[in-house]
Amino acid sequence: MERQPVISSDLASIGYDPVTQTLEIEFKATGVYHYFSVPPEVYETLRTTPSPGKFFLQNIKGKFAWEKVP
């Protein structure tokens, strides 16, 4: 999955697969994670928000199944 960089103190880059609705987030400190069944509008808002880290904490963390990418 291709990721694009974001301006954030915690997140390095994000990517999205609309077919599987999988969001991929690279965190600066802990690596890459997949979040599953993420609606496209959530990704689009994450991509365009001025504060991706805050948006992640409020709208993604704890709301979607996830796994760390090895």
> Average pLDDT, stretch 14-19?
98
Question: What pLDDT score does 41 carry?
Answer: 98
pLDDT for residue 62: 97
Which residues, in sequence order, are bridge partners of residue 39?
none
Question: Could you tell me if 13 and 26 are in contact, meaning their C-beta atoms sit under 8 angstroms apart?
Answer: yes
Calpha distance 26→28 (Å, rounded): 6
pLDDT at position 32, please?
98
pTM of the predicted model as reported, rounded to 2 decimal places: 0.96
- Under a CB-based contact definition with an 8 Å cutoff, are residues 25 and 32 in contact? yes
pLDDT band at 7 (very low <50, low <70, confident <90, very high): very high
- Predicted confidence band at 16 (pLDDT cuts at 50, 70, 90)? very high
**Alpha helix ranges (H) inside the chain:** 40-48, 52-59
Range of the domain at 19: 4-68
**Number of folded domains that form the chain:** 1
